[in-house]
Amino acid sequence: MEISTLAAYHCLAFVWYFFVAYSITHVRTEERPSEVFLYGGQWKYLTVLNLVLQAVFYGVSFLADVLRLIKNLRCAKCVISSRDLLFSVLAFPVSTFVAISFWTLYTYNRELVYPKSLDGVIPLWLNHAMHTAVLPFAVLEILATPHRYPAKKKGLVLLGFVSFLYISWVLWIYSVTGEWVYPLFASFNPAGLAAFFAGSLVIIILFYNFGEFLNRMIWGQSKFCF
C-alpha cells in the first residue's frame, strides 16, 4: 500500500476510534443503569481501555506515515518502532481478545458481560463498534503494512505485565466496592477466579502468537522499509 494511502487509512482509523471512545465516555449520567459506571467509571472496562489503546496506536501510525512522507527517516524509524511494539504486544492481541471473548460470553449468557439494561443506554451501532469492528480493524492492519515483532520473551513479558496491571485494577475495584467489574466473576470462588484469569492470559498469549504468525506469513521476516 502506498504511504499516502496508508496515511489516509490510519488517519481515518484514528478519527473513528477517537469518536467511538468519546461516544462511550460521554454517555449521559442520568441514563446509566445503577449497577454500572460507578467506581472507576467506564475506565474499569477492558473494552473502553481498548478503544483508547487503538486510538493511540492509529495516532502513532499516522504520525509515522507523515514522517515517512516528509522524508524525516530518523524520526520515522523511532516512531515506527513504537508503532510496531504497540501493535504486536497490545493492539492486536487485546482487540482480538475483546471481540472473541465478549461475543462468546454474550452468546452463552449476556448478563455475565453486557446486562440487558445497557440496551437502552448504548446504541446497537456503538456496541458493535466496541466489540465487533475492533477485530476486522486489527486484521486489516496486518494486511496493510508489515510490523516488526519484538523478541518473543520481551513481547510476552510486556503483555503479561499489562495483563497483570488490568487484573490488579479489577481486584482493587472489588476490594473498594465489593462489586465485580463483570457479573461473571461473581460466579467463581477464589481458586476458580484465579484459574479464569490464568486461562484468559493463556488465550491472549495465543492471540499474540497468532498475530505474529499472520504477520510472518504475509510479510516474511525482512520486508521492512522506511
Domain extents for the chain? 3-219
Give the 3-state DSSP-derived string for the chain, with helices as H, strands as E and coil as C. CCHHHHHHHHHHHHHHHHHHHHHHHCCCHHHCCCCCCCCCHHHHCHHHHHHHHHHHHHHHHHHHHHHHHCCCHHHHHHHHHHHHHHHHHHHHHHHHHHHHHHHHHHHHHHHHCCCHHHHHCCCHHHHHHHHCCHHHHHHHHHHHCCCCCCCHHHHHHHHHHHHHHHHHHHHHHHHHHCCCCCHHHHHCCHHHHHHHHHHHHHHHHHHHHHHHHHHHHHHCCCCCCC
Please report, in tens digits, the pLDDT of each residue of the chain (226 residues total).
788 899 999 999 999 999 999 998 887 645 555 455 567 778 899 999 999 999 999 999 999 999 998 887 788 899 999 999 999 999 999 999 999 999 999 999 999 889 888 888 889 999 999 999 999 999 999 999 999 999 999 999 999 999 999 999 999 999 998 889 998 999 999 999 999 999 999 999 999 999 999 999 999 864 444 4
pLDDT of residue 38: 62
The reported pLDDT for the residue numbered 55 is: 97
